[in-house]
Chains A and B, each alone.
Chain A
């Protein structure tokens, strides 16, 4: 038998040995694509609603306060948002931040008000240890609340953990997470304090909100 024939035989053997798996993968792939097609719009709507609610929580507003605000799928890295709260217009600089945590990067979104004081923080994505590092999530502990009202430009900036000579409480069992996020928040807040708040990238007046109800 020549080399050529041997190689051909081997290729035929490989195909014969794997085609059932390839066929199964094709069938399953098609089924999943179909399911994706069916659920896609619902998932997108959920994500948009989640995004508005998250922004409302971030700005310490009611859950439905931003109903009617249209935001792009992917928010810009930094933007100014003008919202009428009880008749008075308030302006916020909102921005995403990212910092390397204990296990991969922690992504968050934060906002400061016109006085450069931190208004709120929401964690978008993280892979910190469940039960320890995941206490950075607002739903799991109120660790993040201590950052509210901290000035991004005051004497206490940049913010540091108590262990490092600052006045931010750590997280027991997750010091690496707490230290990283404190630094990330401090940097992002400082960056946001340079945002131009004289114009609004996105705006929602209370009249708009009232129309939607």
Chain B
């Protein structure tokens, strides 16, 4: 029962409680350990993390809403291909929009935007929740799960950027236009811990953040 609650969320919760749970208690990364591949690969800087977070949020929300609208009309044996079609289409749309409005950032994280389609988080939410819920709930679930994923990406991205590069918010102009170049905060001229910017650093930092979240959520057993 607990397992079911954790992965699916309860259908009779209020939308707000459900959403808050999806961000924190059932956080897709820190509590369910899903979507780690893009998380670890893209979180070397805040701007990369934010770019992927926005793209994932878009795909999650769109796919959840569409899957909920398709609902029971799609015969059971066609649901999986139908959901994949929907998710792939939203990923393509995210790619087109990023190419149009954040071209340079897209070039930096293109591969990871493309593989959003294989992010198990999205299919899991579509299958387990959106397909059995009304559009409003599915939409709220998509946004909340996306925000939860974004929270994980951003916390890891910021931690790794500060430790690995000694800066914070570097390169934000790729996402928010030239004025955002001034947002960069230089914490230290030479990075304290280069390891943090490298792949092993991603695993270590993610482990520490999971421990921190568990401590905060009081989930140490």
Contact = CB atoms under 8 A, between A and B. Distances in A.
- Note whether A and B form a binding pair: yes
A36 B78 contact: no
Contact of A139 (B75, B101, B108): B108
Which secondary structure dominates where chain A touches chain B?
helix
Contacts, number: 57
Given A17-B77, A139-B108, A131 B89 contact: no
Interface in A3-40: 17-18, 20-21, 24-25, 28, 31-32, 35-36, 39
B81 interface: yes
B111 A46 contact: no
Given A17-B75, A20-B75, A21-B82, A46 B100 contact: yes
Interface in B91-113: 92-93, 96-97, 99-101, 103-104, 107-108, 111
B195 to A, nearest CB: 12
A46 B100 CA distance: 7
Interface residues on B, range: 20 to 34
A35 B75 contact: no
Given A32-B93, A39-B96, A130-B111, A20 B74 contact: yes
Contacts of B99: 39, 43, 46
A43 B98 CA distance: 9
Contact of B73 (A20, A35, A127): A20
A42 interface: yes
Which secondary structure dominates where chain B touches chain A?
helix
Given A36-B96, A42-B100, A43-B100, A20 B78 contact: yes
B33 to A, nearest CB: 21
Interface of B: 41, 70, 73-75, 77-78, 81-82, 85-86, 89, 92-93, 96-97, 99-101, 103-104, 107-108, 111, 198-199
Interface of A: 17-18, 20-21, 24-25, 28, 31-32, 35-36, 39, 42-43, 46-47, 50, 127, 130-131, 139
